[in-house]
């Protein structure tokens, strides 16, 4: 597939966007714990949109996001009643587990990347125009993504029994179908999700609103604007 050039958002644009702050961290991250602690100091976005009323259970989910020009930093904060981790290999069906996801598209490309992580940090990632037509990224590529996860059991009197956090460092090389030298000033579109298809209480949450008859995160028409500062 041919590489695609990337458009940047003019500085004067007033289009609403999730503004992703720049963090002055080294291009080659050697201490993901330091990244995690830095992300803790940023404002947290709430993931609380529940597009499908038939799935009433709602875990508590927040996330922070930043970048250092050559990588995207994500941290998810999840509190939920059950935690399921049953997949351990790259590109396994991690959405069946306790799972958080990040979808992103660049410029005028009709295709987008999906990066899905279970609570252990195992990643499934692909590229394509919709849910049915995905090209999975090679496991060797996914090894470039750094993750760090913590899991704790809360007071058993609390209905939300478990709290887990996942920190993710995604190098721009993951976006292999595009030529990205720097994220500085770049405009993208995307969405953030939490799911657990095979949990005792399946659930499907999103950051940006989705309208569809059945659970489906692969709807780029409902991606929100993202601006890398």
Q: What does the pLDDT look like over 84-136, one tens digit per residue?
A: 999 999 999 999 999 999 999 999 999 999 999 999 999 999 999 999 999 99
Question: What is the rounded CA–CA span in Å between residue 76 and residue 36?
Answer: 10
What tokens does 73 get? 């930093």
Nearest CA to 116 out of 176, 2, 192 is that of 192
With a CB cutoff of 8 Å and minimum separation 6, the contacts of 158 are none
103 within 8 A of 190, measured Cβ to Cβ:
yes
Using DSSP, state whether 32 is helix, strand or coil: helix
- Where would I find the H helices in the chain? 32-40, 139-142
Q: What is the pLDDT of residues 35-93, one digit of tens each?
A: 999 999 999 999 999 999 999 999 999 999 999 999 999 999 999 999 999 999 999 99
CA distance 46 to 63: 7
Does residue 227 sit in helix, strand or coil? strand
Cβ count within 10 A of residue 166: 24
Return the pLDDT at 25.
87
Say how far apart CA 228 and CA 17 lie, in whole Å: 9
Domains and CATH numbers, the chain: 32-150+162-228 (2.60.40.1190)
Whole-model pTM over 0.85: yes
Q: Which of these, 32, 169, 39, lies nearest to 102 by C-alpha position? A: 169
- Which residues, in sequence order, are CB contacts of 107 under 8 Å at separation 6+? 4, 5, 6, 7, 178, 187, 188
Place of tokens 């290999």: 89
User: In this structure, what are the phi and psi dihedrals at residue 208, rounded to the nearest 5 degrees?
Assistant: -105, 145
Whether residue 157 has pLDDT greater than 70: no
DSSP three-state, residue 17: coil
pLDDT on residue 158? 64
């Amino acid at each position: 597939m041919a590489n695609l050039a990337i458009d940047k958002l003019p500085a004067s644009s007033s289009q609403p966007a999730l503004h992703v702050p720049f963090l002055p961290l080294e291009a080659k991250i050697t201490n993901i714990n330091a990244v995690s602690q830095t992300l803790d100091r940023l404002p947290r976005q709430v993931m609380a949109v529940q597009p499908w009323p038939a799935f009433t259970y709602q875990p508590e989910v927040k996330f922070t996001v930043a970048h250092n020009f050559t990588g995207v930093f994500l941290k998810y904060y999840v509190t939920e009643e059950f935690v399921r981790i049953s997949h351990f290999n790259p590109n396994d069906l991690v959405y069946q587990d306790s799972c958080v996801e990040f979808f992103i598209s660049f410029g005028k490309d009709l295709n987008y990347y999906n990066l899905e992580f279970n609570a252990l940090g195992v990643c499934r990632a692909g590229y394509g125009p919709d849910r049915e037509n995905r090209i999975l990224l090679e496991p060797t590529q996914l090894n470039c993504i750094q993750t760090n996860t913590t899991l704790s059991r809360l007071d058993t009197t609390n209905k939300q029994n478990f709290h887990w956090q996942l920190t993710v460092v995604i190098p721009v090389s993951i976006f292999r179908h595009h030529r990205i030298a720097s994220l500085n000033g770049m405009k993208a579109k995307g969405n953030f999700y939490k799911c657990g298809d095979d949990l005792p209480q399946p659930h499907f949450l999103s950051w940006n609103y989705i309208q569809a008859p059945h659970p489906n995160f692969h709807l780029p028409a409902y991606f929100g604007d993202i601006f890398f500062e």
